[in-house]
Structure 1
């Protein structure tokens, strides 16, 4: 049970950190040229939507019984990995512009 609580706590922290990183990326986009700004802002909005979905999955993970927890954790981890990759791609695209 402590591993479960530790994992959930770590993922909550990661979601909060990602939110802060998205805010920083938005601030950089606000200072960019209009063509870059529009593209980055669209990516940020998509990332925020994915983050919100993952936040809901984390809430479901917290409520899950022991039998379902491992299955939900695998799905959550997959979604988290996808979000992390998408964030890195958006951030690197902004840096290259």
Structure 2
């Protein structure tokens, strides 16, 4: 397995993990008060958008040739960090 394939698998696994975390937050929101539910849904919408962006980055990497994927990796790494930070923030607020 080359570096690109390993990175793709790592990113794909993390996307699945984030989807599960978003689903947990969504379930938690259902049991919250009306005000809290609104805050949860705003946070969940933001997380879902960020996750969707990560999926797009993964697609770009999957379709990139060997020379171009390193440039795309830098963008994916930034998006990964932003998503990780947003997920941690969501759990601090609502966890």
Across the aligned residues of Structure 1 and Structure 2, the Cα RMSD in angstroms comes to 1.0
Segments of structure 1 that go 5 or more residues without pairing to the other structure are none
Q: How does 1:58-97 map to 2 (within 5 A)?
A: 58-95=58-95
Q: Take 1:18 and 1:63, find their aligned partners in 2: how far apart are those partners?
A: 22
Q: How does 1:48-63 map to 2 (within 5 A)?
A: 48-63=48-63
Deviations 1:4-43 (A, max 9, x none): 1011001101001100110001101110111111001111
Partner of 2:3: 3
The Cα of 1:57 is off from its aligned counterpart by 1.0
Partner of 2:17: 17
TM value normalised by structure 2: 0.95
1:31 aligns with 2:34: no
Q: Take 1:41 and 1:91, find their aligned partners in 2: how far apart are those partners?
A: 13
TM value normalised by structure 1: 0.93
The Cα of 1:67 is off from its aligned counterpart by 1.4
Q: Take 2:3 and 2:89, find their aligned partners in 1: how far apart are those partners?
A: 31
The Cα of 1:65 is off from its aligned counterpart by 1.0
